[in-house]
Amino acid sequence: MTTKSPLKIMPISNDPGTETGPSYRIRSFVRRQSRTTRAQRRALAELWARFGVDSIETLNVEVLFGRYAPLVLEIGFGDGESLADMAAANPEVDYLGIEVHHPGIGHLLLRATELGLNNLRIICADAVEILERHLPDECLDRAQIFFPDPWPKTRHHKRRLIQPSFISLLVRKLKPFGQLHVATDCEHYAHSILDILSATPTLKNMSADNGFIPGSSCRPSTKFERRGERLGHKVWDILFARRDNQ
């Protein structure tokens, strides 16, 4: 069976290295060629209309969810299990997930349907472009990025999602006192993220000692995290909040 792609917002090149011209940007992801299962393909074709967000200019959050409620954005949710668990556990909160990986989106569509979630919407696109062009300022109560691609080699650090310019963009989307929660199992990235966030004057570290927070108690574990734990990786959680005035 052939299925229609859910991607309506923007075409993403499979090989950013060949891109040229004024719109060129170094992306934080490379589209993986992993297999989409038959169930995921069906989910993308049949369930996208229920949870997916297409063709937005400026996102109207109240129209999108049909109510006014606290809003959490998750960037790069992977297979979406932990996002679905959070949405199921907090029906009074709305969750918006952005991911580029089609099998992961298919997986989340299936899980969201199983759980009967009404408080979840999904965008299939580069989160940077969504923040730049489609998400209004001061709309988020929390942004969460769990295990962003670590790009561990020095020559790939420029691909890391969390850079000072990305953080200034993301902070503009937070409401005053809105929170930013990041977790990673890459020690170098953890310290780099802590440095970038600590150097952002509009953000305040919520940990008692201006360092990391104990993470496992305040969020479900993720697939990437569990894989790292099997390899003996440590995890660093980082929680900041936007100050009152920008």
Ligand X SMILES: C[S@@+](CC[C@H](N)C(=O)[O-])C[C@H]1O[C@@H](n2cnc3c(N)ncnc32)[C@H](O)[C@@H]1O
- Which residues form the interface with ligand X (CB under 6 A)? 28-29, 75-78, 98-101, 104, 126-128, 146-149, 161, 222-225
- Residue with the closest Cβ to ligand X? 76
- Residue among 129, 134, 124 at smallest CA distance from 5: 124
Other C-beta atoms within 10 Å of 16: how many? 16
Phi/psi of residue 213, each to 5°? -115, 155
Pairing outcome for strands 94-99 and 71-75: parallel
Given the complex with ligand X, which of 26 and 89 has the nearer CB atom?
26
Query: Roughly what angle, to the nearest 10 degrees, separates helices 81-89 and 102-115?
Result: 30
The DSSP letter of residue 35 is P
Active site residue 149: yes
Provide CB contacts within 8 A for 6, sequence distance 6+. Answer: 44, 48, 52, 54, 102, 105, 124
Q: Which is nearer to ligand X, 189 or 240 (CB)?
A: 189
Residue 161 or 196 having the CB closest to ligand X: 161
User: Which member of 79, 85, 137, 149 is catalytic?
Assistant: 149
Q: Cβ closer to ligand X: 104 or 106?
A: 104
- Name the minimum Å distance from CB 170 to ligand X: 11
Task: Tell me the C-alpha distance between 128 and 146, whole Å.
Answer: 16
Active site residues: 149
